[in-house]
Structures are given as C-alpha cells and as structure tokens.
Amino acid sequence: MKEGQKFGLGVNFHADELTAIQGAEMGAKLGALGMSHLEKISPAGIQLMAEHKSVAVLLPTTAWIMHLEPPPAREMITAGVPVAVASDFNPNAYCMSMPFVMNLGCILLGLSMNEALVAGTINAAASIGKSELYGSLEVGKMGDLLVLDAPQWEHLFYRIADEPIKHVIKRGEVIEFWSVCWRYVMVVVVEEEEERWCIA
C-alpha cells in the first residue's frame, strides 16, 4: 500500500474481518480514508482510527449472512471514529439495498436511525474522500437525493421490504424511476469520478 501511495493511490481496504491481524492499526498509521468490516478490531485499533479520522465502513449484511459477531459500532462512535455502513455487494452478500443495510445497522449494530442515516450518506461519502460533493444536502453539492412517499424519513429503512421512494434526483435532475434504479444512486460516485484507489 505504501508503494501505491507513492503513485497517488488512496488507501481503503478490508481489515480485521475474520481474525484480529492489526489491520486497523496499520491502516490508520498509513492514513487510510476508510477500512471495511472490522468485526475483530482491537481497542488499540479503534483508538488509532479515531486519532487519524479513518472511517470505519461497517458491512452488516455480511456479518448477518455469515453469522459473524458484529463489529463494535458503539465503541467506535464513543471513541470518535466516523462510522459508515455499506452493503459489501458480492456473491457472498448479494444485497444492493442501502435501506436494508441501514435497517441492519440499527438492528445488528445498535445504531440509532439518525446514526444509520449519517452512516449511509455523509460518512459513506467521507470514506472515499467525496464528502465535499456528496452525502448531504448543502449549497454547492451535487444535488443527489431521494423524495419519499412516506410520513417521515425514517420510513426509508423502517419499512424493510417496502421501498417508499417516489423520485430519484441526480445532480439536481429527476431521473426515470423503476423498482431498482435507486439502488445504484448511492454507488454512482465511484463510477463517475476518475479516482484511483489501492484496495487490498
């Protein structure tokens, strides 16, 4: 990873998922923007991530499917580690639904609904160095948002198998909506930006 950094590659990788191998400690010292999984992170790893402001990208779908002990999300938040959630979409965890991921963030990781929303939006953007443009509704940002057909925003992931999404707005433009298109909105940042990442 150090070699990659010499060529301008960012550091963002999976760490301490199945065994405690001090991946979080190494990543924090290297200045990693984000590290994923972290089910087996140590107290020292949490402290170093907090000191270096590395984002903990927790993947509750994988922990749920594989019956892993969930990562210590509350300890991370208490220590000051920015926590994000993501789907870990792959053949082992075939889930593209961020509302479901945020629901698992509440049920499995013990996040509040507010914390889960922050974890799935602004902190997720921060984990890839894009929080200046994405992840929240602010003047000067890209204008990506969802319009819900629900009495309150919490229904986005409170209603587990019922997607209350009425409109998808991308860069300030309403895009055509069908049952699954919104699932791709949250990952399009990586596809649109010509970023180079060193992923181990």
Average the pLDDT over 171-178 and give the result: 78
Confidence band for 177, pLDDT divided at 50, 70 and 90: low
Q: What is the rounded CA–CA span in Å between residue 68 and residue 58?
A: 12
Q: Is residue 86 part of a domain?
A: yes
Q: Is residue 139 part of a domain?
A: yes
Q: Is residue 196 part of a domain?
A: no
Q: What is the rounded CA–CA span in Å between residue 25 and residue 184?
A: 32
Confidence band for 198, pLDDT divided at 50, 70 and 90: very low
Q: Is residue 171 part of a domain?
A: yes
CATH number of the domain that 102 lies in? 3.20.20.140
pLDDT in tens, 91-139: 989 998 899 999 999 999 999 999 999 999 999 999 999 999 999 999 9
Decide if 25 contacts 44 (C-beta within 8 A): yes
Domain count, the chain: 1
Decide if 75 contacts 69 (C-beta within 8 A): no
Q: What is the rounded CA–CA span in Å between residue 87 and residue 78?
A: 23
**pLDDT for position 178:** 54
Q: Is residue 168 part of a domain?
A: yes
Confidence band for 3, pLDDT divided at 50, 70 and 90: confident
Best CA proximity match to 127, nearest among 35, 18, 16 = 35
Listed range (63-67, 68-72, 159-163) with the worst mean pLDDT: 159-163
The continuous run of DSSP H or E covering 3 comes out as helix 2-6
Q: What is the rounded CA–CA span in Å between residue 1 and residue 11?
A: 7
**pLDDT for position 187:** 40
Q: Is residue 200 part of a domain?
A: no
**pLDDT for position 190:** 40
Q: Are strands 34-37 and 55-58 parallel, antiparallel or unpaired?
A: parallel
**Owning domain of residue 141:** 2-190
Q: Is residue 199 part of a domain?
A: no
Q: What is the rounded CA–CA span in Å between residue 124 and residue 135?
A: 7
Find which of 110-119, 137-146, 160-169, 178-187 is predicted with most confidence, using mean pLDDT: 110-119
pLDDT in tens, 84-102: 999 999 998 999 889 999 9
Q: Is residue 103 part of a domain?
A: yes
Decide if 38 contacts 81 (C-beta within 8 A): no
List the structure tokens of 54.
């590395």
Q: What is the rounded CA–CA span in Å between residue 163 and residue 166?
A: 9
